[in-house]
Structure formats: structure tokens, C-alpha cells
Amino acid sequence: MKTKILLLTCLSLSGLFATAGSNENAMLKPGDSYTYYHYFFNESNFEPGLSPGNGIDWLFQNTPDESAFVVEVKDASAHPDASNFPSADLVITNDFFSTDYLGALNKNYHFIQSTSNSFVKYGRVDIDETTNNTYVNIFNNPEIQVVFPLAVGLNSHDNWSGAYYVPERNGSVYWSNGSNTYEATDIGTISINGKIIDDVTRVVRRRVYAENAAFIDFKLHDVTYYEWYVEGMAFPIVSLMHKKGFSGNPDEFEGYFIDNAHLATVGINEAKNDISTLQLYPNPSNGEINIRYELFNPSFVEISVYNTNGVKVERIVETEQDAGEYHINQRLNLSSGMYLINFKHNGRSETKTVVINDRV
């Protein structure tokens, strides 16, 4: 049985709201704002891996005082229905919201976005002292994050949650510690550029961390990510970020929020009781993990571990199994980090995230 619900979710400065509505066109449309952050420090334990690729160069000059734009970057090779997704799709309005952290108006912006297999490169925002224009330097240790909807993702067929602690880091420049929590909520269908995509899982991820940098006041960061994942892909098809509780001067931090970007969600489905659910515990783990699942019918079962770049790093199960309940105690000989455990059976594929921390 399927329950059809029509939702319109809107991310604003005060959070995520759900109201009745519809959107027959693109998920994000020209005129919508987007989220842009300039970090003096960026905790990158679980950020997507960096990969060289084709660069997309955006130059915005003489922008009006009140403005906004939206850009969508999609990699056709990363989508199972690649023929219907262009490799890059740029949708820009004539305006760009260009007020900096202190309210000063920056007229010219120059952004570079590099993608390869839907990996995003980040860089640092610098100011040309001669022209006073803002531009972006791309480098491997990011200090800026630009968030756009990408046609990639990861699917989980049931509700799950997890948390990990970011240990204190010491150095000549900064220290930081904090925590992350993850919670998967609805499974449903979304519309992107008029295309309906089924079995999408929404994941809410919250990062709370403290930072102290040399010559800079102590800062507390509270960031909430709203991400929509689909099966068989490594990163979300949509990622929205909301940050609050920051301080500092514009050379260390700037933030622009999505204040009117709308996501049309249709067809929230009831969980199917014939889907075997993969259970992982403890999570986070020191590398030793228990895996439980139930098969309702005989099936060829594959359970594999992938890193966040989509590379298979370990195979746990690859065999024909009868219907029944299964329990596996597995030692993963992997370094600390986040990994994806993929469970294939009966023509279905289910992926869950496991965090390995050798301090647990």
C-alpha cells in the first residue's frame, strides 16, 4: 500500500518547514538563493573526496544590491539513467546576492567549480587588493564550500541514525572539536527538472563544533545539512545547508543562506514490509562490526564495503543463501573514516553508512 502525500519543503533562516504545495518545474528555479560559506577552518573528515575534472568558471560583474541565482551541476556518468541527465546545466539569473558578512556590497564575484564524477572541489575566497574584487582559489585543503544540487546520492531503505565525535586538533593555527549526528527520515519521490525519481531517502545531518584559531575569538558552529539520497550513487542529489551561531570578521567567515529554494516532494511511501533490512552495530565502531539481516526468499547475496570515493575496499559476503535470519561478526581492517556497506539481494540494493573510529 502506498500513501500519496504532496509536500513542499522550504529551507529558511529559521529551519526547514513543510507545507502543502506543488512545483511542476525544476526543484530549484532561477531566482532562488543558494548557500555559500567561506570557512577559515573546515573540518573535512567526511567531506567528499577531491578529484580533478573539468572546471566551470563563473564571473559575476556589476551585480545589483538585491539579487540571487541558482546553479545545477550534474554528472551524467554518475546517474543510472544517464541519457536523461546533461553533464552540466547552468541556470543563472541576472542577479547575485552580494552583501558580505558585515553588510558591505561586493560588486564582482568570480567562482570556479570543478567536477569529475560529481566530486566537488573547494577553494578559498580571496580579495584582489588592487581591484578589491573577490575571487576563488581552488586547492586541495578546502576553506570554502559551495553547495549545489548534484545528481548523485546514496540510499537507505529504512530509518537510521548515528553519531561521531570529532577529536580535538592541535596546531599552530587552530584547534577544533565537536560532534556529528545523522538521521534518515522519509523515503519518497522527488521531482528534479521535471523528472520524477523514486525511492529517495532524506537524511538530516547536524554538525556542532567549536573552533579556536590564533588571534581569532573562540567560535561555535552549528550546521544542519538536509540531503536527499538515491540508491547506487555516492553523494546526495540535493544538499541544502543551514548554518548559525557564527562569529568572526569577513576574512574568516561569510554565509549566504537558502531563503526561498523550494523542493517539490511527492508520493511519500510506506516502508515495504518485504524488504530485508541490514542492521549494523555498533556504529561508530572500532572496526569490529555485527551485521544482521533477514532474507524472505532464497537469494544470491553480496555485502561489500566501499570508501566515500566509491572504491570497493572489502568484500564480506558473496554467495547464495536460503531464506532466514543471518548474523555476521566482521573485523574491518580499515583506517578511521566513513564507509558505505552495500547489501544486494533479490534484485535490490541497500546501502548504509558506517563510521570507523579506532578510538571507540
**Res 188 pLDDT > 50:** yes
In this structure, of 8-17, 47-56, 171-180, the range with the lowest mean pLDDT score is 8-17
Write the pLDDT tens digit of every residue in 239-273.
555 555 444 332 222 222 222 222 222 222 322 33
For residues 126 and 224, membership in a common domain is answered with yes
* Residues 192-199, mean pLDDT to the nearest whole number: 54
For residues 238 and 330, membership in a common domain is answered with no
Closest CA to 122 of 96, 90, 148, 83: 148
Closest CA to 289 of 316, 322, 321, 325: 316
CATH code, 331: 2.60.40.3080
Number of H helices, E strands in the chain: 0, 23
Does a structural domain hold residue 248? Answer: yes
For residues 85 and 115, membership in a common domain is answered with yes
* Mean pLDDT over each residue of the chain, to the nearest integer: 49
Write the pLDDT tens digit of every residue in 302-354.
898 887 666 788 999 999 998 888 999 999 888 887 787 888 887 676 777 78
Between 99 and 298, name the one with better pLDDT: 298
For residues 189 and 52, membership in a common domain is answered with yes
Instruction: Kindly state the cell numbers that stand for 117.
Output: 564524477
Instruction: Kindly state the cell numbers that stand for 135.
Output: 575571487
Between 277 and 58, name the one with better pLDDT: 277
Does a structural domain hold residue 274? Answer: no
Angle at 155 between CA 150 and CA 156, to 5 degrees: 145
Does a structural domain hold residue 272? Answer: no
* List of E strands, 234-321: 238-244, 253-256, 262-266, 279-281, 288-295, 299-307, 312-321
Domain span at residue 345? 279-356
Instruction: Kindly state the cell numbers that stand for 317.
Output: 559476503
Instruction: Give the neighbor-by-neighbor strand order of the sheet with 324-331.
Output: 279-281, 288-295, 324-331
pLDDT for res 318: 92
The pTM score is 0.30
For residues 47 and 100, membership in a common domain is answered with yes
- Give 6's pLDDT tier (boundaries 50, 70, 90): very low
User: Which domain-ending residue is among 213, 238, 266?
Assistant: 266
Residue 225 to residue 164: CA distance in whole angstroms: 15
* Residues 198-219, mean pLDDT to the nearest whole number: 62
For residues 231 and 299, membership in a common domain is answered with no
Cβ–Cβ < 8 Å for 232, 80:
yes
